[in-house]
């Protein structure tokens, strides 16, 4: 059963990459970090750790007291078939209000059986000829962020240069390049965020490499032989607002995000052409070293068996622990399909004080 499922997924993956540009590079919207996942991915206004490279690059500039910060995440989707991994790092520059960050993201399906060579030249079936391959998407992000001088509030700005590499075994590869820009503004207990993803549109150039024998099998099985093509990821705007409520040692921070896509009508709560709006809501409660989170996202319309239109939503729950400079986060969320396949997400963040902050602390400043 697992082999059949992997084969179906691989064929669907290949077909999607050749034709569906509306959801191009959609693996970058899955969400990095268990904190974000536990809040329904509503973190554009409040993210202020190494994962900001993937959510809002401006958030890195708020880490003025931190030196090197490392982050890592692992999640498994579709019952463990798909694996989503992230690793990132951020360091301060010579000026304390500026930071650099790098991130690597991978989403892949491994151990997919290659049945193109299943039949021998005499027409007999030879399972020894079946090999395995992986279908994976990679993204490398280089980030710069800076705090800007303002009046009563704090303004942060940042940007990403990203390189996207997508590979389907030995058959197909693609390279793409894009730019993201972000802003965060904090005044009092309010926080605002805005991110323009793929501001210049991101282009993925696909090339395909099949042997003559593989092409023959594709033709005999009525499959189209793909040719080199270009896939375009249209710009997307993310907006966020959050407010922190303090009750003695207890803090509660709700956040609302709006994802505005420009690639045509999608199945979102507010759908139109070319703009569609997908809201997400999350809340985080913090008490000393403990954090509790919940979120709702991916509001989608569907028709029930009685032909009544209903709305499906993706719920999420999360918890976080802060132990000295180590942050451990966990999230439990549905991937948003009809089968309610819930997944576990775990992420770690390790911070190190920069030399100036450590010296000030030791001197009592």
Separation between Cα atoms, residue 253 and residue 271, nearest integer Å: 28
- Closest residue by Cα to residue 71 from 353, 291, 350: 350
Q: Which of 84-88, 134-138, 310-314 has the highest mean pLDDT?
A: 84-88
43-60 pLDDT tens trace: 999 999 999 999 999 999
**Does the pLDDT of residue 154 top 80, yes or no?**
yes
Residue 20: what pLDDT? 39
Token pair 């992230």: residue: 86
Element (H, E) at 219: helix 212-220
- Closest residue by Cα to residue 137 from 88, 84, 177: 84
**Does the pLDDT of residue 128 top 70, yes or no?**
no
Supply the mean pLDDT for the chain.
Answer: 83
Q: Which of 7-16, 208-217, 235-244, 335-344 has the highest mean pLDDT?
A: 235-244
Separation between Cα atoms, residue 267 and residue 314, nearest integer Å: 14
Tokens of 240: 């966020």
Residues of the chain with pLDDT > 90: what percent? 48
Separation between Cα atoms, residue 243 and residue 258, nearest integer Å: 16
Residue 246: what pLDDT? 94
**Does the pLDDT of residue 247 top 80, yes or no?**
yes
Query: What's the whole-number mean pLDDT along residues 168-187?
Result: 91
Residue 14: what pLDDT? 44
Query: What's the whole-number mean pLDDT along residues 274-288?
Result: 94
Backbone φ, ψ for residue 26 (5° rounding):
-70, -15
Separation between Cα atoms, residue 197 and residue 56, nearest integer Å: 9
74-112 pLDDT tens trace: 988 766 778 899 999 999 998 889 999 999 999 998 877
Query: What's the whole-number mean pLDDT along residues 197-224?
Result: 77
The set of long-range contacts for 308-316, using a CB threshold of 8 Å and a minimum separation of 24, is 311/269, 312/336, 312/338, 314/40, 315/40, 316/37, 316/38, 316/39, 316/40, 316/282
Query: What's the whole-number mean pLDDT along residues 170-198?
Result: 93
Give the chain's largest Cα–Cα span.
82
Residue 90: what pLDDT? 96
> In angstroms, how far is CA 300 from the centroid of its own chain?
19
23 close to 268: Cβ distance less than 8 angstroms? no
Backbone φ, ψ for residue 209 (5° rounding):
-140, 100
């Amino acid at each position: 059963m697992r082999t059949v499922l992997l084969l179906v997924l691989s064929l669907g993956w290949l077909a999607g990459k050749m034709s569906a540009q509306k959801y191009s590079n959609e693996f970058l919207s899955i969400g990095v970090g268990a904190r974000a996942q536990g809040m329904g991915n509503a973190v554009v206004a409040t993210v202020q750790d190494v994962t900001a490279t993937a959510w809002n690059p401006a958030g890195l500039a708020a880490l003025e007291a931190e030196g090197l910060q490392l982050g890592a995440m692992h999640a498994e989707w579709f019952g463990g078939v798909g694996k989503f991994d992230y690793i990132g790092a951020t360091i301060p520059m010579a000026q304390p209000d500026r930071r650099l960050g790098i991130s690597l993201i991978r989403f892949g399906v491994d151990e997919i059986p290659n049945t193109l060579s299943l039949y021998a030249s005499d027409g007999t079936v030879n399972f020894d000829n079946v090999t395995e391959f992986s279908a994976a998407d990679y993204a490398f992000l280089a980030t710069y962020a800076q705090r800007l001088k303002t009046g009563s509030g704090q303004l942060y700005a940042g940007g990403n240069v990203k390189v996207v590499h997508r590979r389907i075994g030995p058959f197909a590869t693609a390279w793409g390049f894009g730019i993201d820009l972000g802003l965060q503004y904090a005044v009092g207990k309010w926080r605002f965020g805005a991110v323009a993803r793929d501001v210049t549109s991101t282009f993925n150039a696909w090339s395909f490499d099949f042997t003559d024998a593989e092409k023959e099998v594709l033709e005999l099985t009525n499959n189209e032989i793909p040719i080199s093509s270009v896939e375009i990821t249209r710009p997307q705007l993310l907006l966020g607002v959050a407010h922190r409520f303090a009750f003695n040692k207890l803090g509660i921070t709700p956040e609302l995000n709006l994802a505005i896509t420009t690639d045509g009508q999608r199945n979102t709560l507010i759908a139109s052409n070319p703009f569609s709006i997908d809201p997400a809501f999350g809340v985080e409660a913090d008490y000393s070293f403990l954090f509790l989170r919940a979120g709702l996202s991916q509001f989608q319309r569907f028709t029930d068996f009685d032909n009544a239109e209903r709305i499906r939503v993706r719920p999420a729950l999360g918890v976080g622990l802060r132990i000295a400079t180590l942050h451990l986060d966990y999230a439990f969320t549905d991937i948003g399909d009809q089968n309610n396949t819930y997944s576990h997400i775990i992420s770690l963040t390790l911070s190190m004080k920069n030399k100036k902050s450590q010296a000030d602390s030791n001197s009592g400043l």
